[in-house]
Amino acid sequence: MLSVGGTIASGFFLGSGGAIALAGPGVIVTYLIAGLVAIGVMACLAELAIQGQTAAGFAAYAKDTMGGLMGFLTGWNYWLAWIGGSAAESIAVGTFAQALAPLHSTPVWLIALVVLTVDLAINLIGVLLMGNYEFGLSTIKIVAMVVFSLFCFAAVLGIGMPPVGLANYTDHGGFLPLGVGGLFTSFLLVFYAYTGIEMGSVGAEESHNPKRDVPRALMGTAVLVTILFIASAAGMLAVIPWQTLGTSSSPIVDALNAINQPTVATLVTLAIILASVSAIDCGVYSGSRVLFSFARDSYFPKWIAKTGESGVPTRAVVISGVLIYVGVIADLLSPSYAYVLLGSLATLGFMWAWLVIPILQILYRRRIGPDAVEKLQWKVPGYPFTPIAVIVLVLVAIIGPIFSSGPGLFGLSSGATPVVAGAVWVALWAAYYWLYGRRLHEAAGENPTAG
């Protein structure tokens, strides 16, 4: 459930409105393509994970296969994805919560800080409580998406309410009102909704039968999320004209209000809030573990890697939480752009990971040789087509939105913003690695008791 919790969140509940604005009803095709890519990436990760590589460890494998700098950037971009993503989710929680009458006048940033504080406290108590908490929240969000889809399809068929049919798919400019180009410009937003599935490999080392359980967990989650996203997007676009959907409110809630279901809309709003709370919880957990791992390996000061009596990396949790707080405060300073910027940084980190995973899988096979490949108990289906196709489509997702003309930040288009922000981020941390991190790591290797 951890990977479900990290995936189903505002990337779909809020971001789907932005994707629909770029592609119209044809965004359903984009969600299908992104789902197939997600399944392909998880297939590649599964083959690596059952050989001892976990979601937290594919950065170490990148280091062994592609060099120290690539390993550092892969892991650190993954950290960025969860920290930036958690800050964006915190802002989304505040945005959704303001739709509830008691919280209409409460500032977004204040709601976000309260929710984040609760999630930090849960992470500091221990993994068991966090796991049970996450299981409950993930179950609620899955049920909410199923209920939403059923209500939409009931409206289409006229079960218990006037039928709306399927006219909204074609009556407002056609199924592809913005052309095939709209599909390409919507790729990045749609792909972002799927990110987080890779967390399904976290428990690989603890599994009694990882060669069976890890592929099932990764690909099963990818298939489940794909079905939920496609069904929800199809239902949403059937009951409400696509031009009326955006990111100022949840498109799912707007769709329910369009078919006169205000009570269900309120309940789903609560479920959406819990979905983002769940994603923040996963983000704090994942981000703190990545930071802990880097500090333990001496890329950062080793005092950060200290753990509490329960084994929780308390200092890494607190530092990650403080940095998420900083992201939330950005909403107070620039409410119009904070979510866009944080979401862009998170997108960079996740897309980097999704690009690196299939590359690692190809390099891994070449390194072990054909004889060892034959002995693998679980193999990527359709090799080498699957990893190559995944690499190409992830690159399309990154490059395609650059041509979007929507407003972004600093005079850039909305599509160019994450690419430029990502290039600056990578350049800064590559410099850190060469000037400080690598030397700190090498010094610790010469003196393992230091720190």
Which domains, and CATH codes, for the chain?
2-422 (1.20.1740.10)
Structure tokens at 439: 């030397």
Helix ranges (DSSP H) in 246-399: 251-258, 262-296, 314-333, 338-375, 385-399
- The Cα 312–Cα 320 span in angstroms is 13
pLDDT (0 to 100) of residue 103: 81
What's the CA angle centered on 266, arms 264 and 272, to 5 degrees? 100
Using the predicted structure, report yes or no on whether residue 448 has a pLDDT greater than 90. no
Using the predicted structure, report yes or no on whether residue 90 has a pLDDT greater than 90. no
How much of the chain exceeds pLDDT 70, in percent? 86
pLDDT (0 to 100) of residue 127: 64
Output the CA torsion sign for 294, 299, 304, 309. positive
Quick: pLDDT tens for 278-318: 888 888 888 888 888 888 888 888 899 888 877 788 899 99
Does the N-terminal peptide bond of residue 401 adopt cis geometry, omega within 30 degrees of 0?
no
Q: Which long-range contacts (CB under 8 A, 24 or more apart) does 208-212 make?
A: 210/49, 210/50, 211/50, 211/377, 211/378
Q: What is the phi/psi pair of residue 339, to 5°? A: -65, -40
- The Cα 53–Cα 424 span in angstroms is 29
Structure tokens at 224: 């489940």
Across 15-19, 92-96, 386-390, the highest mean pLDDT is recorded for 386-390
67, 361, 385, 390 from 369: Cα distances, Å: 20, 12, 18, 22
pLDDT (0 to 100) of residue 158: 92
DSSP 176: S
